[in-house]
Amino acid sequence: MTPFDASADDPAAFFQPSYRVSRERLLEAAHALSTRLPVLVDSRSIAPRGPDGETLALDWVSFGARRPRHALVLSSGTHGVEGYTGSAIQHHALATVLPRLRLAPDAALVIQHANNPYGFAWHRRVNEDNVDFNRNFRDRFDPTQCSADYEALYDCLNPTDLDPAREAERWARIDAFIAAHGLRRFQQAAVEGQYRYPEGLQFGGHAQAEGTRHLLALVREHLCDTQTVIWLDFHTGLGDFAACELITGAPVADAGYAFSQQVWPAGVKSAAGGESVSTPLNGLLDRGLAAALPGRARFAFAYPEYGTWEPMRVIRAMRLDNWLAHYGDRHDATGRAIEAEMLEAFRPDSRDWERRVVTSGAELVAQALARLPGASH
């Protein structure tokens, strides 16, 4: 399929086979669309390469105004491997929305492809430094920050071997923790973000990652004149199979929270406010963006979170992936099985799931465009 294959009316067909192919098709589509809309491509590469030796880059591809007053941004791959889904929704927009979108001279639609290109290309959720990109958006880092629950469960969450007897003992301790405190408190401990252990799960970093600095620079440069910014950053792995929840890091009292509720009729749920399937999290992308945008800009933001499998299966996959990165060999049978399970946890091998998430994502994009001044389609 090419991005402009009008016969591709199966939403699942917008899923791409790899980061590399997704990026190549994005750049081809941008070139083709430049005959009807002004196009700006700003690619910021990071140091590592992909599995085929390919360049890894954050690609900011803007259609419409060069310095927009009103912008809709669709971003993907904040959590690496989750980028299969976000990019499928982006390719759907490239093929079906942008060929007929009408934009006023002060409006733009931006495709921000692969916030964490390393994780997308290598099928990890984290970046090249084992950092969770969506825990890395902060100005100050405290290398002692880590919850008491994470400390207590450290060796259960971060095994140094997969010896069956020791693994059984670790899982027994996790089960006992859940029996005593509940699954939600375990989820909170496992995923909220910690800043103490670079080799541990959910490490938020000791400084802003290269990709984080690139993304904030892109926003400061290209959205510096904005009055309205609507942003969708697509995620997977939390919630019921193919169900969508719109999550925001904004507190309920934040003006952006109220604007987000207006943009998406399904409503946005605040992780900080305890309304969401997500527990409160540290160092979130949307908090970093809110600080980087002009103070006057109205900012609606949502992380559409598409459910895959049950939470413990997803956490198991992340835990094994972290073991593999530090102690395993991705080329042996165990390594390949763990990589396949990571993919399944964040991009299930199901055409029905793919169709449902692309259809849902397209609807969220249409709702955002309906609220964007200067856009009609």
Q: Hey, what amino acid is at 234?
A: F
> Least distance from C-beta 305 to Zn ion, angstroms?
7
Nearer of residues 358 and 372 to Zn ion, judged by Cβ:
358
Helix ranges, the chain (H): 19-33, 83-92, 117-122, 148-152, 154-157, 164-181, 183-191, 210-222, 255-263, 285-292, 311-327, 333-346, 351-371
> Least distance from C-beta 254 to Zn ion, angstroms?
21
Nearer of residues 59 and 82 to Zn ion, judged by Cβ:
82
Nearer of residues 19 and 177 to Zn ion, judged by Cβ:
19
| Region of 50-58, 78-86, 309-317, 353-361 interacting with Zn ion (CB under 5 A) | 78-86
Distance CA 307, CA 185 (A): 19
Site track 220-249 with Zn ion (rule: CB under 5 A), x = hit: ---------------x--------------
Nearer of residues 62 and 202 to Zn ion, judged by Cβ:
202
Distance CA 367, CA 57 (A): 29
| Region of 24-32, 76-84, 108-116, 212-220 interacting with Zn ion (CB under 5 A) | 76-84
Nearest CA to 123 out of 79, 60, 85 is that of 79
Site track 195-224 with Zn ion (rule: CB under 5 A), x = hit: ------------------------------
> Least distance from C-beta 303 to Zn ion, angstroms?
7
Nearer of residues 82 and 341 to Zn ion, judged by Cβ:
82
Report DSSP state, residue 373.
T
Report DSSP state, residue 94.
I
* Partner residues linked to 45 by β-bridges: 57
Nearer of residues 126 and 320 to Zn ion, judged by Cβ:
126
Q: 20, 25, 79, 214: which one contacts Zn ion (CB under 5 A)?
A: 79
Q: Hey, what amino acid is at 208?
A: Q
> Least distance from C-beta 98 to Zn ion, angstroms?
25
> CA gyration radius for the chain?
20
Distance CA 290, CA 250 (A): 9
Nearer of residues 82 and 128 to Zn ion, judged by Cβ:
82
Let me know: does 178 contact 186? Beta carbons within 8 Å: yes
3-state class (DSSP) for residue 74: strand
> Least distance from C-beta 10 to Zn ion, angstroms?
25
Location of structure tokens 């949307």: 286
Alpha carbon of 307 to those of 239, 240, 346, 356, 357: distances in Å?
Answer: 4, 5, 8, 11, 9
| Region of 34-42, 77-85, 192-200, 294-302 interacting with Zn ion (CB under 5 A) | 77-85
Nearest CA to 156 out of 170, 168, 169, 146 is that of 170
* Residue 23 lies near Zn ion (rule: CB under 5 A): no
Site track 24-63 with Zn ion (rule: CB under 5 A), x = hit: ----------------------------------------
Sites for Zn ion among residues 80-99 (CB under 5 A): 82
Nearer of residues 345 and 369 to Zn ion, judged by Cβ:
345
Site track 305-324 with Zn ion (rule: CB under 5 A), x = hit: --------------------
Sites for Zn ion among residues 271-290 (CB under 5 A): none
Let me know: does 194 contact 203? Beta carbons within 8 Å: yes
Alpha carbon of 326 to those of 305, 319, 323: distances in Å?
Answer: 28, 11, 5
Residues sharing a CB contact under 8 Å with residue 104, sequence separation 6 or more, in sequence order: 65, 70, 373, 374, 375
Binding interface with Zn ion (CB under 5 A): 79, 82, 235
